[in-house]
Amino acid sequence: MNGSVAQSLLTEEEREFQAVVRQFMDTHVRPIVPEMERAGRPPAELLKLMGDQGLLGCFAPEEYGGGGGSLMSRAIVAEQTARVDAGLDATLFVNMSLIARHLIQRGTEEQKRRYLVPLIAGTSSASICLTEAHGGSDALSPRTTARLDGDEWVVNGSKTFITNAPIADVFLVFARTSGENRRARGGTAFLVEKDTPGLSVGRPFDKLSLRSSPTAEVFLEDVRVPAGQVLGEVDMGFYYMLEGLDLERVFEGASNTGIAQACLELAVEYSSQREVFGQALSSYQLTQDKIARMATGVETSRVMFYHLIRELERGEEVTRSAAIIKLHSSLVAVEASREVVQILGGYGLMEEYPAARLYRDAKHHEIGAGTSEIMKTIIARETYKAAGAGR
């Protein structure tokens, strides 16, 4: 966009890629969003098409079918996907930003061939199973356990709110294998295939947000998992999960910026055309105030998230900033979605306009991937730490 600081943080090549992805989303995804929301899942053909077009594994190594691009290429796809459908973004967030990245970092060659290649091709989906019914914020307290029996692990427990569970071919399950509750050491990540006896998936939840992305419970009853299905090392799984959290939160910046951008575009378009009291809605300063605040939120979120992607590419430590971008950008998205509904008036409440969906979807991001309260506790903790005043 003209005069955008954020755009100046992208290379020429990245801006061209951004335009291609934006065009793809407007052409192939926008027309089918209501259908995807009704079906409660993205069509398999869409994921395959995205795989064929190189939009899924753009950041992954070429030897596994990826594009060998930077992390920014994945961020561009995430933002442009969320701009059109936050549900599809959630499904791809798990498939690519979480599972594919875990596999690239820790998977054996065999695991990469078996699970990473089809994810990149868009012919399979995956789930990450951490949250349990007794509380998701307390992430190091899973009651799901695994014990070694011969050369197999036996996993027992249950998980809830699991994105993609009804369409997943493989589940990355975090279970305690040793150590005490809330200790990072002693958790192990297992790759469990969907047809493994003892693994079952509940009915998809009927939920407020992200309706095109299916979410369900996952039950594990005496599930026998061969030792070769451990991702990385035994007892190190929670460390992998914790290491990934900063990146996850920075990518939340992509999702929220995409949603807020969609709100802004719709608000500008509608207020320019709608006449009230004989004048365009856009001519009133009360409307301009809303547009100005939305545009400011979009720009500040985008600048910060692009900047943080660059820091992640350089391997820098971003814990405090990652929590700030998650907190700030979700607030921006929620406020922008509230304002766009307001600008559309009664039409804002009608599902035939995208404002209602944006309002429903934005709210998710104050809860999923770590709540706003948890982000605030991290920001405060890191701020005290930086000031040398331990708490």
Catalytic residues: 248
Structure tokens at 142: 């899973």
Q: Which stretch binds ligand FAD (CB under 6 A): 49-57, 216-224, 254-262, 366-374?
A: 366-374
Residue 231 within binding range of ligand FAD, rule CB under 6 A? no
Which residues 6+ apart lie within 8 Å of 33 measured at CB?
84, 85, 212, 354, 357
Residue 255 within binding range of ligand FAD, rule CB under 6 A? no
Residue 191 within binding range of ligand FAD, rule CB under 6 A? no
Structure tokens at 384: 């005290």
Residue 143 within binding range of ligand FAD, rule CB under 6 A? no
> Contact, 103 vs 116, CB < 8 A?
yes
Residue 331 within binding range of ligand FAD, rule CB under 6 A? no
What are the Cα distances from residue 16, in Å, to 10, 21, 51, 56, 76?
10, 9, 19, 17, 11
Q: Which stretch binds ligand FAD (CB under 6 A): 77-85, 303-311, 350-358, 365-373?
A: 365-373
Residue 136 within binding range of ligand FAD, rule CB under 6 A? yes
Which residue from 179, 345, 371, 381 is in contact with ligand FAD, where contact means CB under 6 A? 371
C-alpha span between 42 and 80 (Å, rounded): 16
C-beta of 369: minimal distance to ligand FAD in Å? 6
Residue 373 within binding range of ligand FAD, rule CB under 6 A? yes
Residue 215 within binding range of ligand FAD, rule CB under 6 A? yes
Task: Please give the backbone phi and psi of residue 230, each rounded to the nearest 5 degrees, phi first.
Answer: -75, 135
Q: What is the DSSP letter of 60?
A: S
Q: Which stretch binds ligand FAD (CB under 6 A): 32-40, 71-79, 133-141, 264-272?
A: 133-141
C-beta of 90: minimal distance to ligand FAD in Å? 7
C-alpha span between 62 and 264 (Å, rounded): 36
Structure tokens at 96: 């690519």
Q: Is the dihedral of CA 343, 344, 350, 354 positive or negative?
A: negative
Which residue from 36, 88, 162, 332 is in contact with ligand FAD, where contact means CB under 6 A? 162
Which residue from 95, 124, 125, 131 is in contact with ligand FAD, where contact means CB under 6 A? 131
Residue 210 within binding range of ligand FAD, rule CB under 6 A? yes
Residue nearest to ligand FAD (CB): 136
Nearer Cβ to ligand FAD, position 114 or 365? 365
C-beta of 188: minimal distance to ligand FAD in Å? 15
> Contact, 351 vs 199, CB < 8 A?
no
Residue 135 within binding range of ligand FAD, rule CB under 6 A? yes
Name the residue with tokens 């009608």: 350
C-alpha span between 279 and 271 (Å, rounded): 10
Which residue from 223, 294, 370, 379 is in contact with ligand FAD, where contact means CB under 6 A? 370
Which residue from 88, 92, 103, 128 is in contact with ligand FAD, where contact means CB under 6 A? 128
C-alpha span between 2 and 342 (Å, rounded): 27
Distance of CA 215 to the CA centre of its chain: 13
Task: Please give the backbone phi and psi of residue 182, each rounded to the nearest 5 degrees, phi first.
Answer: 70, 5
Which residue from 137, 273, 279, 288 is in contact with ligand FAD, where contact means CB under 6 A? 137
* CB-based burial, 319-331: b 16+ in 10 Å, e otherwise: bbbbbbbbbbbbb
Provide the binding-site residues for ligand FAD, judged by CB under 6 A.
94, 127-131, 135-137, 161-163, 207, 210, 215, 364, 367-371, 373-374, 377
